[in-house]
Structure 1
Amino acid sequence: MRWIYDIGIRAFWLGIVVSSLWNKKARLWLKGRAGWSEKIKNQFSEKDRVLWFHCASLGEFEQGRPVIEMIKKQLPEIKILLTFFSPSGFEKQKNYENADFVSYLPLDTRKNTRKFVKSFPLTGVIFIKYEFWYHYLHTIKGINVPSFLVSGNFRPEQVFFKWYGRWYSQFLTCFSHFFVQDEQSKVLLRKFGFDNVTVTGDTRFDRVAKVVQTNYQNQALEEFSRGNSVIIAGSTWEVDEELLFYACRNLPCEYKWIIAPHELSGKHIQKLKNLFKEHLLFTEIQGTIDDTIRVVIINTIGQLPFLYRYGTIAYVGGGFGKGIHNILEAAAYGLPVIFGPRYKKFREAVELVNLKGAFPVHNKKQLLSILQQQMEDPQGLKTSSDISRNYVLSNSGASSIIINQLKKIF
């Protein structure tokens, strides 16, 4: 099976090379990996103790981030190497202040992995959520360096647990310990002989709880939202925005809107401007926002997690596509959350729906109905709000459990 895996890895690399002729992300993927060995060697000395964190992309980084920040605070002598597989993660976090160096992950070949672990004094390895690379894991195990999976989430349908997945289950034997999100993952791993498991919960709860406490101020948006009902729509796609436009057109003019689209291209922003006539771009705000403005369009990256503090209720996009985006950022502020029908792979969404802190919709009329029900019933809105806030608070603390375990080792 390993030779099939190796052929697959090289075929993937070849596909990236070919697609780089026209695809910007593929070009970044290749360019970012050029000269990786020397770049890493130049960042660390032999006396350093380096803890290597690896995240596939930006979403996994947000799960690893609280742990990294706690390590830098409680174990300041530890150096952090942070790697990403995808350009979307690396390009946005290449200057992350809590990492001593940020790099792309070299391709998972035997030659690369052996060269990689010799490039710096490796003390420990932390992979986030769904990262399983055959050669890296076996190389790390072979040199007796402890490795951990953080925010692991296992399901019976994964290949490790299928009758034909015996070879893939070798990947799991390489981990020193699993920090998993839920009891189901623990039970499943134990069923297959893995007792080195701790249920911690999801570290994303710690991250969003911390963002709520962050000192962020925008005077214009504070005045825009003060005394008004504000609907904040985050990470929206075109299909989401069509529903939002319908709701905006049929709700009272006194309601204010903040829309942060997932796609920030000039073409897409222009579409939003054409759709929502009484708008103002975030980058055009100067001083106060005129009373005639109903919709503020966020056309910059990185603002959304902080802007939910100005909202009354949230809509999170993606639910009419591959799946919803981050709803915890909104829930942390005590906002009831609305999203499209594709949410059932996300545990937090399912649980919040069951608790009545979140509401799935299938079409524009359902969205309008839910918004009217919530906004016109102050007590019902408060109840949903309290449910969302308490859900996040009650699930926080995973990072502390992980750090307490790691401090015994490092």
Structure 2
Amino acid sequence: MQRIYNVLVNLSGVVLKSAGYFSKKLKEFTAGRTELFERLEASIDANEQYIWVHAASLGEFEMAVPVIKMFKSNYPTKKIVVSFFSPSGYKNKKKHELVDHFTYLPLDTQKNAERFLNIIDPEMAFFIKYDFWPNFLYALKERKVRTFLVSGVFRKDQLFFKSYGKWMRDSLKAFEHFFVQNEESLQLLQSVGFDNASLSGDTRFDRVAAQIESNNRIDFIEDFKGDELLMVCGSTWPEDESLMLDFINTSPDIKFIIAPHQIKEEKIRNLEESLNIPFAKFSTKEATDLKKARLLILDTIGLLGRAYSYADIAYVGGAAGKTGLHNILEPATFGIPIIIGENYKRFPEAEKLRQLAGLFSVGTAKDFTKISEKLVKDKDFREKTGMISGHFVNSNTGATGSLEKYLREDKNLI
């Protein structure tokens, strides 16, 4: 099986180059890896000490931020290298104050793994949540690099737990310790002989909890909101917007912010054409009287997390369609009630918060209007619901602390 895997991975490199002619995303995937090693060799200083953090995409990087902060606090002289597998992660995080080097992860061939590790020569390696690459893991084990899984999640349908998946299970031996999110993952690892695992939770809770301590002020949103009730609708897709528009267009006493997930001219224009209330856009806010606008379109990125701090109610997009629910923890940390679409079953934090009654799922525009009206009109209900959301985040923090405690207790800690 491992030989077949290696053949397929090597062939995929050739196929992906051709596929780039037909897919913009695949073109970015291959273009970003062109001269990858040359760029690394030019930027990595052999005299420095490096910690390698791998994140599949942007969401996993956000999970990694508390871990990186912890390392920078304890070991300020060590350099952080973050690798991404997806173009979306790499493009959106080419710079970060905590990260010294960003790079794509090369395709998982034996040759690439050896060359990548030869250049970085990491003292420690951290994989976030999942995205396991066997050749990289085997190479890390061979070099005896201390390797950890952070906020890991395993499912019983993965190859690790199949009768024919021994070679993939063997790659997991690279991990010194597995810090996993849930009991199911812990039991699955134990069922195949891995006792070096502990239930530590999800570092995303640490990440969003820290947001409250940050400076969340945005002057133009303060001007826009004034003293009025505000609903912030984040990471929305057209399917989400179709749920909300009837309520938005018939609610003159509420202000709204919509932050579309895709900042594309055509989609923004379609949203504008569906509105029959005064609105403004971030891109043209200087030419608009924000106090008179009833809705503000954030046609930019990087502001949504702070925008939630001004919200009285939040809608989080992605679950009205099939694209996948976006981060509900960002608004939850500010102690506000949350509304989402109905396709959220693959997101355990949403299911748990719904059970606690801090989150509401809707399938139709009528459902959205009904719960929104209740949250708007019943202040006591709105505040109690928001308190549940805030407590949910606060009671689930500590995953980063579990990792830090493990490393501090180790006398061989770097």
Q: Does TM-score exceed 0.5, indicating one fold? A: yes
Report what 2:176 is aligned to.
176
1:212 shift after superposition: 2.2
Summarize the alignment of residues 299-378 of structure 1 with structure 2, pairs less than 5 Å apart.
Answer: 299-319=299-319, 320-378=321-379
The answer for the alignment partner of 1:273 in structure 2 is 272
For the residue of structure 1 that corresponds to 2:407, the secondary structure is helix
Contact 1:220 1:288 in 2 (8 A): no
- 1:117 corresponds to which letter in structure 2? L
1:403 deviates by 2.2
Shift of 1:244: 1.1
Alignment partners' CA distance in 2, 1:143 and 1:115: 13
8 Å CA contact 2:336–2:383 kept in 1: the answer is no
In structure 1, the residue corresponding to 2:99 is in which secondary structure? coil
SS at match of 2:45: coil
SS of residue matched to 1:383: helix
Query: Residue by residue, what CA displacement relative to the aligned partner does 1:178-233 show, whole Å, maximum 9, x if unpaired?
Result: 01112232222112211111221100111111222211322231133232121111
Q: Matches of residues 184-195 of structure 1 in structure 2 within 5 Å?
A: 184-195=184-195
Q: Which runs of 5+ in 1 are unaligned?
A: none
Query: In the alignment, what sits opposite 1:69?
Result: 69
Q: What is the letter of the counterpart of residue 261 of structure 2? A: H
Question: How far off its partner does 1:291 sit?
Answer: 4.1
Structure 1 residues 242 and 288 mapped into 2: Cα distance closer, same or farther (>3 Å)?
A: same
Aligned to 1:205: 205
Distance 2:298 2:292 in 1: 17
Q: Distance in 2 between matches of 1:298 and 1:21?
A: 32
Give, in angstroms, the shift of residue 14 of structure 1: 3.1
Residues 42-84 of structure 1 show CA distances to partners (whole Å, capped at 9, x for unaligned) of: 3333332211111111011011111111211211122111111
Cα pair 1:276 1:295 within 8 Å, conserved: no
1:6 shift after superposition = 1.8
- Length-normalised TM-score, structure 2: 0.94
User: What's the counterpart of residue 156 of structure 2?
Assistant: 156
Which whole-Å CA distance do the structure 2 matches of 1:232 and 1:270 have between them? 19
Q: Which residue of 1 aligns with 2:26?
A: 26
Q: How many Å apart are 1:288 and its aligned residue?
A: 7.8
Which residue identity does 1:95 align to in structure 2? K
Q: 1:247 maps to what in 2?
A: 247
1:268 alignment partner AA: K
Deviation at 1:143, TM superposition (A): 1.1
Deviation at 1:389, TM superposition (A): 0.6
Query: Is it true that 1:146 corresponds to 2:146 in the alignment?
Result: yes
C-alpha deviation, 1:287, in angstroms = 8.7
* Greater shift in the superposed pair: 149-158 or 231-240: 149-158
**C-alpha separation between the residues in 2 aligned to 1:368 and 1:159?**
44
What is the DSSP-based 3-state SS (H/G/I as helix, E as strand, rest coil) of the residue aligned with 1:209? helix
- What do the CA deviations read for 1:136-173 (whole angstroms, capped 9, x no partner)? 00011011111111110122232322334333222322
Letter in 1 for 2:273: N
Paired with 2:153 and 2:252, the residues of 1 have a C-alpha distance of 44
Aligned residue for 1:325, secondary structure, equals coil
What is the Cα deviation at residue 119 of structure 1? Answer: 1.1
2:226–2:291 CA contact under 8 A, matched in 1: no
Aligned-pair CA distance for 1:405: 2.2
1: CA distance, partners of 2:29 / 2:60: 18
Q: Do the aligned residues in 2 keep the contact of 1:338 with 1:360 (CA within 8 Å)? A: yes
Any conservation in 1 of the 2:153–2:185 contact (CA below 8 Å)?
yes
Contact 1:57–1:89 (CA<8 Å) still a contact in 2?
yes
| Alpha carbons 2:55, 2:61 under 8 Å: kept | yes
Which deviates more from structure 2 when the two are superposed, residues 180-189 or residues 372-381?
180-189
Matched residue SS, 1:65: helix
Alignment of 1:131 onto 2:122: no
What residue identity is the alignment partner of 2:19?
S
Pairwise CA RMSD:
1.7
TM-score (norm 1): 0.95
Partners of 1:27 and 1:297 lie apart in 2 by: 30
Q: Percent identity?
A: 38
Residues 220 and 287, structure 1, Cα contact 8 Å, conserved in 2: no
Q: Is the 8 Å Cα contact of residues 317 and 339 (structure 1) preserved in structure 2?
A: yes
- Residue identity opposite 1:348 in structure 2: E
Structure 2 counterpart SS, 1:42: helix
Which residue pairs with 1:393 in the alignment? 394
Contact map agreement 1:322 1:342 (CA 8 A) in 2: no
- Shift of the alpha carbon at 1:100? 1.5
Aligned length, in residue pairs: 409
Q: Which amino acid aligns with 1:219?
A: D
Deviation at 1:18, TM superposition (A): 1.7
* SS of match in other structure, 1:33: coil
- Letter of the aligned partner of 1:9 in structure 2? V
